[in-house]
Amino acid sequence: MSTLTPPIPPVRPEYERTLEPFTEVPLERVLPWPARIWAQPGVRKGLILVVIAVLWELAARWQDNDLLLPTFTATARALFEGLASGELIEKVRISLAVLLQGYLAGVLLAFALTTLAVSTQIGRDLLDTLTSMFNPLPAIALLPLALLWFGLGRGSLVFVLIHSVLWPLALNTYAGFQGVPETLRMAGRNYGLKGLRYVLQILVPAALPSILSGLKIGWAFAWRTLIAAELVFGASSGKGGLGWYIFQNRNELYTDRVFAGLAMVVLIGLLVESLGFKTLERLTVRRWGQQR
């Protein structure tokens, strides 16, 4: 009885091949200077603002009625005069002081509510019920009640600001918490994290894009609510803010100053968005790879 020996496969000889450096075309293509300039977001946004200013100037000159629509140059002059005299700066300081107080209080309450919601069933039911009731309710609609409860002062403004910030931020934060992967949740539980430590060390970093989105929405709602509230009942404790500045100049038919106050509202919004939230996103979620 013979045994068959399996054939031995041929063994290819090993060798190393040194590749020549690829030098036929440059590995990096240097963009021309117009393309490099156009790639800057600030340049593109600035160009949009310039186009808007030009269209505004042309429309105002065609309208030829400063009472209805002052020119861009007249508005810029009124804005410069208000800043130079210090009047606009003082109005902005008053408004931002009230805004900061109400915004921070709303953020703290939203965080407490969402922490309770992710910890207990009754907290989830409470958050769902309260947001369904109060989130569709405009903050400015509560101003008459706020005036009855807190009077003509800062308390009324802070109350409506808390309402405008609390519900959208709580909804966004809770939605972000719900979207945290189960593997991260299990990792936190395996490390023995519970309660507030579990929320701060696991849920908050993973849900930070949604939290930042809620913070931006809450800021926008709070800023609009504050200006509208100051337009409705005016000064707070005898000192009016930016909305009161707009209201006063509208009554005195200084339309250029009205537009200057509106321009200040827009500029503050742009500064907070570009210097505040964009910087925070760049230092956190973009650096961590959570956002493109």
Average of per-residue pLDDT values in the chain: 83
Task: Judge whether residue 235 has pLDDT over 60.
Answer: no
Is the pLDDT at 194 greater than 80? The verdict is no
Q: Provide the token pair at 117.
A: 């919601």
Confidence check: pLDDT of 108 > 90? yes
Q: Is the pLDDT of residue 273 over 90?
A: no
Question: Rounded to the nearest 5 degrees, what angle is found at the Cα of 214, between the Cα atoms of 272 and 127?
Answer: 145
CA distance 196 to 189: 13
> Rounded to whole angstroms, how far apart are CA atoms 67 and 161?
33
pLDDT value for 104: 93
pLDDT-derived band at 281 (thresholds 50, 70, 90) equals confident
Instruction: Count CA atoms within 13 Å of residue 160 on its CB side.
Output: 33
Angle among Cα 283, 288, 291 to the nearest 5 degrees reads 90
Is the pLDDT confidence value at 2 over 60? no
**How many other CB atoms are found less than 10 A from the CB of residue 38?**
12
Q: Is the pLDDT of residue 35 over 50?
A: yes
Rounded CA separation 109/130 (Å)? 13
Residue 255 pLDDT: 87
pLDDT score at 106: 92
Average the pLDDT over 259-278 and give the result. Answer: 87
Collapsing DSSP to helix, strand or coil, 239 comes out as strand
C-alpha 222/C-alpha 100 separation (Å) is 9
Give the model's pLDDT for residue 245.
87
Give this prediction's pTM: 0.79
**Cα(14)–Cα(145) distance, integer angstroms:** 86
pLDDT at residue 237 above 50? Answer: no
List, as own/partner pairs, every contact residues 249-256 make where C-beta atoms lie below 8 angstroms and the sequence separation is at least 24, other chains included: 253/67, 254/78, 255/66, 255/67, 255/68, 255/69, 255/70, 256/66, 256/70, 256/74, 256/75, 256/77, 256/78
Bigger pLDDT: 241 or 109? 109
The CA distance from 254 to 223, in Å, is 23
| Element spanning 68, H or E | none
**Is 31's pLDDT higher than 80?**
no
pLDDT of residue 165: 92
Ordered DSSP codes for 166-199: HHHHHHHHHHHHHTS-HHHHHHHHHTT--HHHHI
Q: Tell me the mean pLDDT in the region 143-166.
A: 85
> Taking the CA of residue 74 as centre, how many other CA atoms within 13 Å lie in the half-sphere pointing to its CB?
19
